[in-house]
Chain A
């Protein structure tokens, strides 16, 4: 991986910015035609900021999140996460980037069903550079902080919806990421539980000074975020 002048510049102000998208465009070829999913999107998220990304279905929220998380590459534009410019990364480099820099909480939680809560957290360590006992200590600490210490040995099927969501949050924090991407974290929960989860997200992110992008179309949850960003037809408006 070579360091360019731009990288150096981005790294220099990375202390204050967790995510920077500049002129990001994503085009999908569909049946011989081009569908624009993101159109010249610009977005900055500060190092400890929680941003709600709100928009209707098909507006480009998922595409934006996927690009920010290194799951998709851009058609054009720059993506810098935690001071690392990932715009031109190969799939292999993106895999390593995801191991180190970002955390994900998926819409349907998606815990590994045959692993205990603790093992679900340790998956992140097993898939990346293994740290062994340090990872085990961190997993125990996270479970404790998330109020799941007594559930560490439970399988996901033995946990409630809220507990599963908390395990997923713990998993997203295992690699001490610069940015955590939450994909509709409350969509499967009732309002009360959804609010509890959003409170937890806010507390955990703020306590750690970690940035988060929360994809949602539930306006009731946006007040837990520092800022709301709207996206319509692939275009971002503050």
Chain B
């Protein structure tokens, strides 16, 4: 292995091509991962921010706010379930917002939440007619103190502050007290207007030590008309999240497989080139495992260097792209995960050369058929 590492140090030019290709592949893997994380982050922020253990929808809602309706009597039944500490009503309406200074057709996509229990990162509900706005809406020109007009009815709300990482389904969210939300829904979507004591869903805080999975089942048993999900499950049920994750993971998987093929081809070529050297080393007493370990060590170092360079580039790209323009979120953990997957692909790729290394005949080192 020491010999293999010396070769890397003494003949770096031999490995430049593979390193450059792997760097580009690694940047692609990290960029795709960052896009996935950005999309999922942009879709799930509002639910991730909920300071809740269980989300309760009506059982016909297919776990979405738009189709859900939880009446007051159902809420009372939920609150009576042992283990439920607190409940809060929550509702959502997705509308285009007219922003002063923007063109008449230049609408900002928003998701207005009416809420009772403040999520983490969001203050207690503001006064009627006021909203906290998602950070990403700054990209649409929204500022503190600005009055924006929601939906076709142009319902006015005033932005009194910004909150971060609370997007929903790719839209910047607005957070209002329930009355404001009801007014906006009534004016713009009268078909889904709810009575004053009803919400689309409930967020439930459990007593300490309660098994939330079991609590969700007990709530459904108690009401008979709800579908309760743990917050983690509810996040996965947000429309599009599962599909995005699956699609991107497949693309990332194929890209990592390509990295494995690159390593396999490159080191297979190197192995062919080194057959006579391997023969000599075997004649001198090298074991096949020692030679293969050297090959793997080189592949790991090349991939690690490529991943490190790619990680730096990916983080730089992430820093240069402003919030709101592209849903890109390249984190350190994404870089490390991608690097780990690429390293695994590199080791697997090397395995294609194992047979060739094993078959090197030390006798070939001596003479040429005399």
- Measured CB to CB, the residues of A under 8 A from B are 55-59, 61-62, 65-66, 69, 71-72, 92, 95-96, 98-100, 104, 106-107, 110, 112, 114-115, 119, 123-124, 126-128, 155, 171, 175, 181, 183-184, 215, 217
Out of B11, B290, B368, name the residue touching A127 (CB < 8 Å): B290
Contact indicator A127/B366 (Cβ below 8 Å): no
A92 CB contacts on chain B under 8 angstroms: 287
Interface string of B285-308 (1 = CB under 8 A from A): 111001000000000000000000
Contact check, A65 vs B366: say whether CB atoms are below 8 A apart.
Answer: yes
Q: Which residues of A contact B103 (CB under 8 A)?
A: none
- Contact across chains for B367 and A183 when beta carbons are under 8 A apart: yes
The interface residues of chain B lying within 8 Å CB-to-CB of A184 are: 367, 370
* Pair A61/B284 contact, Cβ less than 8 Å: no
Q: Which of B2-10, B184-192, B234-242, B322-330 lies at the interface? A: B2-10
Pair A215/B370 contact, Cβ less than 8 Å = yes
Residues of chain B within 8 A of A127, CB atoms compared: 281, 284-287, 290
What residues of chain A lie closer than 8 Å to B363, measured between beta carbons?
66, 71-72
In the complex, what distance in Å separates the CA atom of A92 from the CA atom of B287? 8
B contact face: mostly helix, strand, loop, or mixed = helix
Asked if residues A71 and B365 are in contact (CB atoms below 8 Å), the reply is yes
Contacts of B336 in A (CB 8 A): none
Is the C-beta of B277 less than 8 angstroms from some C-beta in chain A?
A: yes
Q: Could you write out 28 A-B pairs with CB less than 8 Å apart?
A: A56-B370, A57-B369, A61-B367, A62-B367, A62-B368, A69-B366, A71-B283, A72-B363, A95-B282, A95-B285, A98-B283, A104-B284, A106-B365, A107-B366, A107-B367, A107-B368, A110-B276, A110-B365, A115-B6, A123-B3, A123-B281, A124-B284, A124-B285, A126-B3, A127-B286, A127-B290, A128-B285, A183-B367
Q: With the chains together, A104 CA to B277 CA distance in Å? A: 14
Question: Within the assembled complex, what's the spacing in Å between the Cα atoms of A69 and B362?
Answer: 10
Compute how far the CA of A95 lies from the CA of B7 in the bound complex, rounded to whole angstroms. Answer: 23
Task: Say whether A96 contacts B366, CB under 8 Å.
Answer: no
Q: Which residues of B contact A107 (CB under 8 A)?
A: 366-368
- State whether the Cβ of B280 lies closer than 8 Å to any Cβ in chain A: yes
Interface size class of B (residues with CB under 8 A): 20 to 34
Q: How far is the CB of A63 from chain B (nearest CB, A)?
A: 8
B11 touches A114 (CB 8 A): yes
A98 CA to B280 CA in the complex, in Å? 12
Are A115 and B3 within 8 A (Cβ)?
yes
A95 to B286, CA, bound (A): 7
- By beta carbon, the residue of chain B nearest A104 is B283
Given known contacts A95-B285, A96-B285, is B280 in contact with A106 (CB within 8 Å)? yes
Within 8 A of A (CB), among B1-44: 2-3, 6-7, 10-11
Q: B97-154: which have CB < 8 Å to A?
A: none
B369 CB to nearest chain A CB (Å) = 7
Verify A119–B6 contact, CB threshold 8 A: yes
Contact B281 A69 (CB under 8 A): no
- Return the contact of A112 from the options B3, B283, B287, B369 (Cβ within 8 A): B3
A107: nearest chain-B partner, CB-CB: B367
Find out whether the CB atom of A95 lies under 8 angstroms from the CB atom of B287. Answer: yes
Question: Are B365 and A112 within 8 A (Cβ)?
Answer: no
Q: How far is the CA of A61 from the CA of B6 in the complex (A)?
A: 35
Q: In the assembled complex, which residues on chain A have CB atoms less than 8 Å from the CB atom of B290?
A: 127
C-alpha gap A215/B11 in the complex (Å): 34
CA distance A115 to B2 in the complex (A): 11
User: Is B366 a contact partner of A98 (Cβ separation < 8 A)?
Assistant: no
The interface centre, meaning the residue of B10, B281, B283 with most chain A CB atoms within 10 A of its CB, is: B283
- Alpha-carbon gap, A171 to B10, bound state (A): 21
Q: What is the bound-complex CA distance between A184 and B366, given in angstroms?
A: 9
The residue of chain B having its C-beta at the shortest distance from the C-beta of A59 within the complex is: B370
